[in-house]
Amino acid sequence: MTVSAVSARQVHKQYAGERGVLALDGITIDIPAGQFVSILGPSGCGKSTFLRCVAGLEDITSGELQVNGKPVSGPPDGIGMVFQRDALLEWRTIRRNLLLPIEFAKKSPAQYQGKVDQLLDLTGLRDFAQSYPRELSGGMRQRAAICRALVDDPGLLLMDEPFGALDAFTRDQMNFELQRIWSEIRNTVLFVTHGISEAVFLGDIVMVLSPRPGRLVEVIQVDLPRPRPLSVRETPEFGKIVSHIRSLFDNMDLGTEKGAGK
């Protein structure tokens, strides 16, 4: 049997303190390598917490969490991460931003120039290699951040609401772009979002989480053929999955967050 890219067994996460919030409650899932996994849930459901635990940025309270068969303690090797705000370094040109992971890994930047060019071509940023981040639009900056996360060929790409700060049009475009980029790379992706349509459009698998405490409500396989055009969202098959997920949220007690899951 092959090793899962990510394997979680009864993962609990409780924050310290007297009124320590139970952020994750018994998350159990095996994610096979090469799958695009959307982690979907309303605000406060612990989806980002789960991602941060996988990234080794936070410790789990109990349970087992493995990446590539090794228990997570601290950030695992071979992961790339994309943050909600692009986290580009303003004082570096786009090219030098992309080379940061290479420098940190003590590899030779010279050997990765070709890789950088390839990623910039793939994302249409070739003409901006020598620009500073502030010269780029929000969508372009986030594309550059994705390139940076991909430059060292991570087997696992973690994306924490990467398009959350973008406007709706840019977001649609970025969804399409991301699918195109990923279809060339085919690594494992964990993609955190609170957009149902985005989660279904991008994912092979959608993990639906409920809020407070964060529980895994259902794991949904999305068997829509790829590449998916944006218009796939108007098909009955797509609509069926979306309305099923919506019904899951309708049955959740979202408390004050009612409606946040749309």
Stretch that binds other proteins, among 4-12, 87-95, 188-196, 199-207 (CB under 8 A): 87-95
Among 17, 108, 111, 134, contact with other proteins (rule: CB under 8 A) = 134
Residue 176 binds other proteins (CB under 8 A): no
In 61-189, which ranges are continuous DSSP H helix? 94-104, 113-122, 138-150, 168-185
E strands in the chain:
6-14, 22-31, 36-40, 62-67, 70-71, 79-82, 156-160, 188-193, 205-210, 215-221
Residue 22 binds other proteins (CB under 8 A): no
Distance CA 104, CA 109 (A): 10
Among 3, 34, 59, 105, contact with other proteins (rule: CB under 8 A) = 105
Binding mask 155-174 for other proteins (x = CB under 8 A): --------------------
| 242 sits in which H/E element | helix 236-250
Q: Toward other proteins, which CB reaches closer, 132 or 176? A: 132
CB atoms within 10 A of CB 75: 14
Contact yes or no for 203/36 (Cβ under 8 A): yes
Stretch that binds other proteins, among 81-89, 191-199, 206-214, 219-227 (CB under 8 A): 81-89
Among 9, 10, 61, 85, contact with other proteins (rule: CB under 8 A) = 85
Residue 108 binds other proteins (CB under 8 A): no
Residue 79 binds other proteins (CB under 8 A): yes
41-60 binders of other proteins (CB under 8 A): 52, 55-57
Among 81, 157, 181, 199, contact with other proteins (rule: CB under 8 A) = 81
Distance CA 65, CA 8 (A): 5
Distance CA 243, CA 181 (A): 28
Stretch that binds other proteins, among 29-37, 128-136, 225-233, 240-248 (CB under 8 A): 128-136
Minimal distance, residue 73 CB to other proteins, in Å: 13
Distance CA 180, CA 31 (A): 21
Say how many residues make up the chain.
262
Minimal distance, residue 170 CB to other proteins, in Å: 19
Residue 149, Cβ density class (10 Å: 0-12 exposed, 13-18 middle, ≥19 buried) = buried
Give CA 175 to chain center in angstroms. 12
Residue 75 binds other proteins (CB under 8 A): yes
Q: Which residues bind other proteins (CB under 8 A)?
A: 52, 55-57, 74-75, 77, 79-81, 83-85, 87, 89-92, 100-101, 103-105, 132-134
